[in-house]
Chain A
Amino acid sequence: MNTVIVKYNAGNVQSVLYALERVGFTKDILLTDDPETIKNADKVIFPGVGHAASAMAYLKQKGLDQLLPTLTQPFLGICLGMQLMCSHSQEGDTACLGIFEEKVLGFKSETLKIPQIGWNQITDLKTPLFDKVPEQSYIYLVHGYYAAVGQHTIARTEYIQPYSSALHKDNFYGVQFHPEKSAAVGEQILYNFMTNI
C-alpha cells in the first residue's frame, strides 16, 4: 500500500509524516504534487495551513484542482485541506474544490478570540474514522474560518456556534482539527484512516 501526502504551498507536512510513523506507518509514504503519482496512490492525505486563495492558486497551477475531486481512493483533508474540499471559502472569496457542498465562513464574535487556538471537543461522531474515539474527545485546532453544519457533517465542535469539525462524502473525509497534534485521540483517528477507510 502506498500513501501520498499532497505537497503544496500550505503547511507543515513534516508533523503529519511523524504522526503516521508513530502509529506504525513508516514505509511507502510519498510527498508529491505530481498528478499521476497522486492518482495511483492507495490513500491520499491533503494537509494544509495557510490562506485559501493562495493554496487554490497553487493547486490550479498544478492541475490538482481538476484531479482531486475525481479521485476514488480514501482521501483525508486536514485543516485548510478540509476547507479547500468545500464549495467556497469566505477567505479571499475563493472558489474551492466543491467535493462537499458546505461553505466555509469566517468566525465573527465580539467577545471570543479569533482564530480559535487550542483544544476543543468533538461530538456526534459518525463513520469508522472515529472508531474507538469517545464522544467529547479533545482535539487541537487553529482556525479562523469554519465549515457550517450540513448533510456531510460527521463531527461537530462548538465555538461561537456549532460547526463541522469533520465532513464525509463517499471516499472523501476532511477534519478541521490537527490529528497529528491531537495526542492519542489524533493518533487513533490517523490509524483509523490508514486501516479502516
Chain B
Amino acid sequence: MHTKTIAELARGLQNREYSSVELTQHFLGRIKQAESVNAFVTVTEEQAMAVAKKADEQIAKGQAGPLTGIPIGQKDIFCTQDVKTSCGSKMLDNFISPYSATVVEKINQAGAVMLGKLNMDEFAMGSSNETSFYGAVKNPWDTTAVPGGSSGGSAAAVAARLVAGATGTDTGGSIRQPAAFCGITGLKPTYGRVSRYGMIAFASSLDQAGPMTQTVEDAAIMLQAMAGFDPKDSTSVDQPVPDYLDGLEKDIKGLKIGLIKEFFADGLDEGCAKTVQAALDEYRKMGAEIKEISLPNLKLSIPVYYVIAPAECSANLSRYDGVRFGYRCEDPKDLNDMYIRSRGEAFGAEVKRRILIGTYALSAGYYDAYYIKAQKVRRLISEDFKKAFSDVDVIMGPVTPTTAFGIGEKTSDPIEMYLSDMYTIAVNLAGLPAISIPAGFSDNKPVGLQIIGNYFAESQLLNVAHQYQKVTDWHQQLPEQFA
C-alpha cells in the first residue's frame, strides 16, 4: 500500500480494496519500524485512528474527496490544536497549540488523516535538519547523509513512504532542497497563494507553505486543498484557485524554457549538471524550445537573503520571551534575566546567529546600509525574473549544487551551509512559484530539477513537471531499505 501515490490510494479506498483504518495502521507500523530516520517529532496515533474511522464512514456514504482517508504528515511548523507544535525548538517543546493553522484545517476538512508532526530545522532555520532540537533526520537514500532542510522530516517521511504526502514550508529553499535530496516532488507556491495563518513565522515576506509528495499529480491534489484566500492572513492573495488537476495533461510542445546561465557556472557539481542536462534533453524531445538566459543580479541572492531573512527573524522571534507561552528559565532574578536566560537557554546556535545578524542589521546606524540596501537589491533580482518571463514560459535549472551531503559535514561552517541554497533563494526573494522534481541520480543519491514559473502559474508548473514524470520513472524509485 505504501508504494502507492495519493491518487492511487484514493482509488483503492473508493474501490474498497482497503479501508482508511487499514491504511492508517499500515503507515503507523512503518513509522515505528523507521524510528531511526527520526522523521517525526510527534506521532498522533490515537487521533489518526479516530479520523480514519470517520473517513471510512464518509467513503461508505459516497462523500469522499481526493484526500479522504489518506495518511499524511504535517511539518511541525504548523499549529495543530491540542497537539504539540515544537517548530523543532526547545523553546516550544512544551507548546500545545490552542488553535490550528489554516493549512491544517483545510487538509483536515479534506478528510486527510494526520499521522503526526514532522521534524524540521529549528524555526525552519537550516538546510540539513541538523539544527533541530530533536536531532538530525536521516536521508532514506543514505542514512549517513542529511535529508536537506528545513522540511527534512517531511521529505524523509515521503521518501521512506512513511506518509503518502506531507506539508512543508519554503523560505529560501526549504521545500525544494530537501525534496531534491530525498528524490521526491516539492512545490513552493507563489507568495500569498497559501495562507500563513498558524504557520510559525520565520521571515514573513519570504515564508510560503506547499506540498511534498511522490508525484506531481499528488502535489496538485494537495495544493488544491491548501491554496486559497484566507482573511486571517493579511498577505493572502484574493485570487480564485484553479483546478490544478485540470491542466496536467496539456501538451507542452513549443514551450519556451529559459536556462539560467549563471546556474551552470562555478560551484555546480558535475554529476548534478549532467543529470539536469539529461532532463532538459527530455524536454527537447517533448518539443520544448530551450534558450539560455542571463539573470545578472541572481548572484547576490544569498547576501540579500542573509540580511532580509535574519532581520525578519529577529523581529518575529522577539515574541518568545518566556511570558505567555513557551520556555521560561528557572528562578529568574529579574525581568531582564528572565528574557535573556529563557531565550539563551532555549534557542540553538543557528537561531541565535540569525537573531544576532538581524538585530545588528536593523540597529541604528546600520539600517540603511544593510536592510534598505538589501531591499533594493531584492527588487533588482525580482526585475531580472520579470524580464526573463517576458521571453520564456518557465525557467529550469538545478535545485542544489550537490547531492545530499554527509551528516556533520557542514555544521562547523555556517556559510558553507548557506551556499547549499544558492539556486533556490532568489525565487523566495521574488515571491515566485517553483517546483523540484526527481531527475535522476548522481553517486546513488537523488538529483532534483527545478522549474520556476511566473506569478500564480502553479497550474503551468504542475503541467510541465507532470509531463516529465509521464516519460520518466525517477519519481517512482524508492530507497531499497524502505521498499
Q: Do A and B come from one complex?
A: no
Residues of B with Cβ closer than 8 Å to A? none
